[in-house]
Every structure is written in structure tokens, then in C-alpha cells.
Structure 1
Amino acid sequence: MTLCSKSAVVTGSTSGIGLAIARALAKEGANVLINGFGDPHDIEKERAGLEAEFGIKAVYSPADVSRPDQIAGMVHEAQEVFGAVDILVNNAGIQFVSPVEEFPVEKWDQILAINLSSAFHAIRAALPGMKARKWGRIINTASALSLVASPFKSAYVAAKHGIAGLTKSVALELATHGVTVNCVSPGYVWTPLVERQIPDTMKARNMTREQVINDILLEAQPTKQFVTVEQVAALAVFLCSDAASQITGTNLSMDGGWTAE
């Protein structure tokens, strides 16, 4: 498959799942706009590396996706630089854990803004061009928690359930316009952030590394294996292919059997 004539915006893509998706799209020939926070030197290294390794054009936007005006500006920038936004991956997300009666209102608002509303604003900005060209791919990163719940994560669960609903609704609107809209729902994904949490959890719970992984992190995943960022990225790339042109409005689980139970 080749995406040589396509250009993509991937939010929350300076690390983790988002960066893996940006790299996978670039490998297929797509120009990419990466977005997110982090050390400027590290971000520039990733941006330049995408161009050098894959021979595509890559730009970085520092847009704060909790701000609708900055989201619209980011999409407009990509349209100006690349000529079009053919692929939109709404991946940005944050987490906060607290009992609901103690959940800070500002954290609720922030999580809903970044994890849910940002996808609406980005879709709204990118859609006119996709419809005019009669081709587009919108992929929303959801979670196993778009299908099931977890205590102390009320805002995250609400936002991810919302992403699943938004995906279905927009897919139906665009069914005759050559634009597909899907969401991917990973379980626990192996990232440096997760790996760095293991030693502290070992100490706090007096557990071995294997116990933390199997009895804490992977308790919900029957395969007892982490999803990898590369696996999520490969699914995203497939959803951009012609072979996936009749897949729309779906919530695709990649959770080691978590939501099968």
C-alpha cells in the first residue's frame, strides 16, 4: 500500500501511540503534521528524522488541543503546507484518577476538552476539504474504556464512550462522501510511560516485576500481553487503505480479549 499522495494530521504524536502512527503513515509515503508537548530538541529530532528516514515532508504544530481556535489553526496550517489534509488521527489524550466526589472540576473539563472535544473540532475543520476531494480517513484513538468502565476514571471513561459515539455519528453523515470514520480501542499499550511506572509499583506493593505486570497492569487482558504501539499503528495504516474503504463507523478493539469477557 502507498499513501504517497496523501497528507496526515496526527494529534498527540510527539511520543507513544501517536508517534508510532505518524511514523507508520510516513513509511507509507504520507506527509505528516505531528503535534503535542515535550522537549523542543526531542520533538525537532523526531520531525527531522521522519523526513530523513522516509523522504516525506513533516511539520510540527505546538497547538494546544484543549483550545478550539488552535486546533483549527493547526488543520489550516497543514492544509497550507501540504495542500490538503487527507488523513486525520485524533489521538491526543490525558488521564486523571480520582473518586468522582473528589474529582477536580478543572480536571474533568480538561479531560473532556482534550480527549473528546478536540476530536470534534479537528473533524469539523478537516471535513470540508475531505468532502470536496471525496476521499478521507478519520481515525480516533479510543480505548477499551470506550466499551467498559473502570472505577475512579469517570472523565476518561465518559470521554472515550463519547469518542465511540462521535465516530458512529460522523461516519453515518459521511457514508456517501468517500470518507471513513473509525475508532481504535487498545487495552494496555506498552510504552516508556508504562514501563517507568513498574519499579515504583514494585516497591509500593512489595511485588516482583512479573507480579506487577501480570496481576496489576495486565489483570484485565486475558492474553497477559501488552499491545504494542506498532500494532496500533499498523491497524491505523490499514484503515487508511482502499481495502478498508467499507469499514466505517466501527470501534475496533485491540485489547488482548479484555472486552470479550
Structure 2
Amino acid sequence: MSNSSANKPHAGRTALVTGSTSGIGLAIARAFAEQGANIILNGFGDASEIEQNRATIESDFGVKAIYNGANMLNPDEIATMVDEAVETFGAVDIVVNNAGIQHVSPVDEFPVDKWDAIIAINLSSSFHTIRAALPGMKKKGWGRVINTASAHALVASPYKSAYVAAKHGIAGLTKTVALEVAEQGITVNAIAPGYVWTPLVERQIPDTMKARGLTEEQVKRDVLLAAQPTKEFVTVEQVAQLAMYLASDAASAITGTTMSIDGGWTAK
């Protein structure tokens, strides 16, 4: 692998990716590391697995990677995580707000604690991370904020009131911050994936097969991918590559947008 700056456009930069111990977040973290960025991983999971992912990023890409287990429910822990990243690397140049949880329930039966947690993790944590990282970006005159939204930032589905509200909020937060920093070399965008093939989605399939009496292929096509005209899952690598583009110099004129990557879901 070449170490030329052309192949390492983020050499010497630092990327903080929340919710990056698996799935989309881990793919984005690895993609930034491949482009030369030092990485702050964040999220929950098995400690040995997280350490293996951290060490593998360092060995695969020759960058430094640290892990911070800040709880996205806690604004003080989020601020401390950003402070630690600045102390370790000197700056946080790229923020990817990816942490998220889900709960499905009719709105009149929706548990209040679940509503509060989803809004806190899927929306408010992005505000707290941006708020902490932005002063350093302003000082350098360069920064990239990429928020993981969802097709549900643009359209709704029943029984997902908190998630849909939070993701619509992400779209609004993205626009507002983009306008505030538009003249300071900082772009702020959101990625809106449809159904992405992740371990979390894969684990849902056996239960759905059993509950509905369907084959694995029927569950994928007629249940999970019912909304996606392509009838194909988005891959974590495709989402990561869109994030790479949004962080590139080629995308410096793109800001305040929510970019769909959803197999045509929101075209309907």
C-alpha cells in the first residue's frame, strides 16, 4: 500500500466516530484510517472484541487508534471524550455522529424511558459532540462533520416515533450547523441510509422467519427490503465510501445536505 499523500488524504488528521465498535461506524472508522487519519473509536460491546478492532486498525493502516467508552446518554462523558482526543492527537478534524438505538412500539404505548433514550442517543449526542469539537475546527479553519441519519430522516414508518423524530432532528441540526460555519472551512452533512446489511440486521432474521413462517430469502426481500426498490441491502462499505467523499476536498462545496443511500426508498 502506498503511503503517498495522494493515497492518504487525511494523513495527520483525526477522526472521531461514535458508535464505531461494529457495523456502519466500524466500517467508517476503518475507511478513514485507510486514508491516514488517526481514529477515536466509541461504543459498547465485548471489551476484547473492541480491543481487537482497535489494534487491527493500527496494524492494518499504520495509524494510531484509541478507544473511549463515553456513554452517549451523558453530555459530560461526550465532552471528556473530545478533550481526550484533542490531548492525544492535538485536534479532532472529522466527527462522525453514528451512535444510535431503536425501539418499535405504537406511540400511545411507547415507553417514556425508551423515547428519552432514543432522543438522547440518536439526536442530542450529536449536538454535544459537535458543540465540543467545533471550536477546534474553527481554530484550524478546516473540519468535517458527518451525521448518520436514515431514510427515516426524510420519510416515516409506523411504530418508530422516537427514531423518526430523532432522525428528522438530525437533518435539521445538520442544516443549522452548516449555515453557522459555512465561511470557516467546515462542512456539515448527513448520510441517510436505507436498510444496511449489518450483524444487527442479520440477527433479526431467524426470529422473523420463525414468527412469520417465511424463508430467509422471503424475510430479506418481502419484510426487510419491502421499502427498497432495488431489493438489495446497502453495504457498510458503500456508506463508508460516501462518508469518505463528503470528507474529501472534492466535496468542499457540499454542506447542509442529507444524502440518501437507500436503494431508491425515498424516491417513492
The answer on 1:45 being equivalent to 2:41 is no
- Aligned residue type for 2:243: A
2: CA distance, partners of 1:106 / 1:206: 32
Q: Which residue of 2 aligns with 1:13?
A: 20
Structure 2 residues not aligned, in runs of 5+: 1-6
Taking the aligned partners of 1:120 and 1:145, their CA distance within structure 2 comes to: 19
| Structure 1 residue matching 2:101: 3-state secondary structure | coil
Once residues 193 and 128 of structure 1 are traced to their aligned partners in structure 2, the CA distance between those partners, rounded to angstroms, is 35
Is 2:178 the counterpart of 1:171? yes
- In the alignment, the residues of structure 1 paired with residue 167 and residue 104 of structure 2 have an alpha-carbon distance, to the nearest angstrom, of 15
Matched with 1:260 is: 267
Amino acid aligned to 1:46: N
Distance 1:9 1:107 in 2: 26
- Superposed CA RMSD in Å reads 0.6
Compute the TM-score of the two structures, normalised by the length of structure 2.
0.97
Aligned match for 1:103, one of 110, 116, 131: 110
Task: Give the alignment partner of residue 86 of structure 2, picking from 46, 56, 79.
Answer: 79
CA distance in 1, matches of 2:211, 2:153: 29
Partner Cα separation in structure 2 for residue 257 and residue 30 of structure 1: 32
In the alignment, residue 76 of structure 1 is paired with which amino acid?
D
Q: What is the CA-CA distance between 1:210 and the residue it aligns to?
A: 1.3
**1:139 corresponds to:** 146
Aligned-residue offset at 1:200: 1.5
Q: Which residue, out of 100, 112, 130, partners 2:137? A: 130
Letter in structure 2 aligned against 1:51 = E
Q: Does 1:231 align with 2:251?
A: no
SS class of match (1:32): strand
Amino acid at match of 1:170: V
**Residue 23 of structure 1 is aligned with which of 20, 30, 34?**
30
Tell me, in whole angstroms, the C-alpha distance in 2 between the residues paired with 1:255 and 1:237: 17
Scaled by the length of structure 1, the TM-score of the pair is 0.99
Cα separation, 2, equivalents of 1:137 and 1:239: 8
The 2-side partners of 1:105 and 1:197 are apart by 24
Q: Please state how far the C-alpha of 1:220 moved relative to its aligned partner.
A: 0.1
SS of the equivalent of 2:146 reads strand
Q: Distance in 2 between matches of 1:210 and 1:60?
A: 37
The number of aligned residues is 261
Corresponding residue SS for 1:161: helix
The runs of at least 4 consecutive aligned structure 1 residues that moved more than 2 Å come to: none
